[in-house]
């Protein structure tokens, strides 16, 4: 009879001890979250210190690039390129303020096409001056067209057709102009004469067409009338210069946005009627 109470007492003491240990473990779980927070905070200050040690101007270029793509939809998993920055902020451009620019009718007039050329030039010079100076972006005008030429290195990674962050930031502003000044727009994709090296692409015809289509998709997504725009792929058959060197091939890899000065209700009638 005397053994049973002793054994029962021991079991009770053991059970009580285990319960106390479990409660203590639950109370200490906040330490894990606190440690994670301190680790992240440490990493943040290390990043700030690293930025302060960079050459002067690097921090400004990083800030400008981030500002340029802040409102852009992420179209790629690739990091933002800091080399050729987006200069300024989109809100500085008159085209963003819809009240400052009257909406004109779809009829193409001299003032209409001049406004498009002026606004595109303003975007390139004020918002993308670094890219303009390096030859990545250029605006030109002829009797029939206002043309915006974009080097493929700005728009896409090598051999691919997903738009970069810089490309999306630029096309957002271009779409605002095209919505205010409706015109027929042809997007021309051009490659060099190097054969494609991808399981997903058949040829340069395929690549140039997909790149032009990516630009069209983005502009339509941003509100451009799909009846007024069309992609065209020229492969390597419309080179800007002869494909004699790597530099020359780089010049030939481009997308040209041609905005017509001629009146038309849609791109089909413009091309075939």
pLDDT tens-digit readout, 216-228: 999 999 999 999 9
The proportion of the chain whose per-residue pLDDT surpasses 90, expressed as a percent, equals 49
pLDDT at 127: 87
Residue partners of 255: CB distance under 8 A and separation at least 6: 149, 150, 152, 155, 187, 188, 189, 190, 211, 212, 215
The angle formed by the CA atoms of residues 244, 249 and 254, to the nearest 5 degrees, is 150
What does the pLDDT average to over 196-224?
95
Identify the band that residue 6 occupies on the pLDDT scale cut at 50, 70 and 90: low
Residue 106 has pLDDT above 50, yes or no: no
Tokens at 255, concatenated: 């997308």
The proportion of the chain whose per-residue pLDDT surpasses 70, expressed as a percent, equals 62
Q: CA–CA separation, 73 vs 88, rounded Å?
A: 19
How many CB atoms neighbour CB 4 within 10 A?
8
Identify the band that residue 159 occupies on the pLDDT scale cut at 50, 70 and 90: confident
Architecture of domain 58-272 in this structure: 2-Layer Sandwich (3.30)
pLDDT at 182: 93
What does the pLDDT average to over 47-70?
54
Domain-by-domain residue ranges, the chain?
Answer: 3-52, 58-272
pLDDT digits (tens, 9 = 90+) for 137-151: 999 999 999 999 999
pLDDT at 83: 45
pLDDT digits (tens, 9 = 90+) for 240-258: 999 999 999 999 999 999 9
Mean pLDDT for the chain overall = 77
Q: Is the Cβ–Cβ distance between 54 and 113 less than 8 Å?
A: no
SS3 assignment, position 211: helix
């Amino acid at each position: 009879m005397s053994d049973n109470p002793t054994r029962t007492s021991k079991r009770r003491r053991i059970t009580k001890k285990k319960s106390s240990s479990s409660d203590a473990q639950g109370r200490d779980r906040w330490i894990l979250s606190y440690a994670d927070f301190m680790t992240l905070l440490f990493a943040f200050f290390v990043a700030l210190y690293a930025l302060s040690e960079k050459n002067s101007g690097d921090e400004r270029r990083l800030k400008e690039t981030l500002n340029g793509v802040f409102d852009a939809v992420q179209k790629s998993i690739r990091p933002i390129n800091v080399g050729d920055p987006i200069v300024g902020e989109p809100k500085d451009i008159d085209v963003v303020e819809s009240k400052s620019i009257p909406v004109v009718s779809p009829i193409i007039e001299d003032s209409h096409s001049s406004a498009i050329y002026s606004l595109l030039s303003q975007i390139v010079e004020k918002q993308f001056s670094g890219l303009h100076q390096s030859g990545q972006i250029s605006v030109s005008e002829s009797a029939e067209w206002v043309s915006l030429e974009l080097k493929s290195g700005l728009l896409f990674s090598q051999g691919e057709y997903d738009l970069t962050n810089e490309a999306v930031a630029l096309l957002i502003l271009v779409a605002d102009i095209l919505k205010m000044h409706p015109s027929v727009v042809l997007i021309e994709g051009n490659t060099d004469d190097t054969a494609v090296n991808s399981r997903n692409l058949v040829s340069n015809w395929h690549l140039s067409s997909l790149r032009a289509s990516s630009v069209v998709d983005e502009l339509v997504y941003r509100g451009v009338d799909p009846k007024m725009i069309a992609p065209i792929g020229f492969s390597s058959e419309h080179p800007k210069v002869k494909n004699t060197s790597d530099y020359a091939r780089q010049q030939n890899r481009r997308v040209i946005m041609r905005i017509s000065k001629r009146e038309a209700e849609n791109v089909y009638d413009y091309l075939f009627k």
